[in-house]
A and B are shown apart, each in its own frame.
Chain A
Amino acid sequence: MKKINYFLAALLGLSFSFASAQTPKGSVLIKNATVLTVTKGTLQNTDVLVQDGIIKKVGTNLSAPSGVETVDATGKYLMPGIIDAHSHVGLDVVNEATSPITSEVQMKDVVNPTEIGIYRALAGGVTISHAMHGSANVIGGQNATLKHRWGTKNPNDIIMMDAPRTIKFALGENPTRVHGRGNGIQPRSRMGVEAVIRNGFNEAIQYQKAWADYDSASAQKGNKATSPRYNERLQTLADILDGKIIIHCHSYRADEIYMLINVARDFNITKLVFQHTNEGFKVAPEIAKYTMGASVFADWWAYKFEVYYSTAFNAAILNANGAITSINSDSAELIRHLYHEAAKTQRYGGMTDDESLAMITINPARQLGISELVGSIEEGKQGDLVIFDSHPLSVYTVPQMTFVDGIKYFDIKEDKNDQRLTVSPTEMVENVYLRQQTERCMQDTEHLFDMAGNLFNQN
Chain B
Amino acid sequence: MAKFIFKRLLSAIPILLGVSLIIFILLNVVPGDPITLMFKEHIYPEVIERLRREMHLDDPAYIRYFRFIWDALHGNFGISYKLNRPVTYLLLNAFPRTLVLALSAAVFSWIVGIPAGILSAVKQYSIEDYFFMGFALCGVSMPVFWSGLLFQYIFALKLGWLPVAGYAGVKYYIMPAIVLGWSSAGTIARLTRSSLLEVMQNDYIRTARAKGLRELPVIFRHALKNSILPVVTIMAIQVASLLSGSIITESVFGIPGIGRIAVGAIQSRDMPLLQGSVIFATFLVIIGNIIADVAYAFIDPRIRYD
* Chains A and B are bound partners: no
- Report A's interface with B, CB cutoff 8 A: none
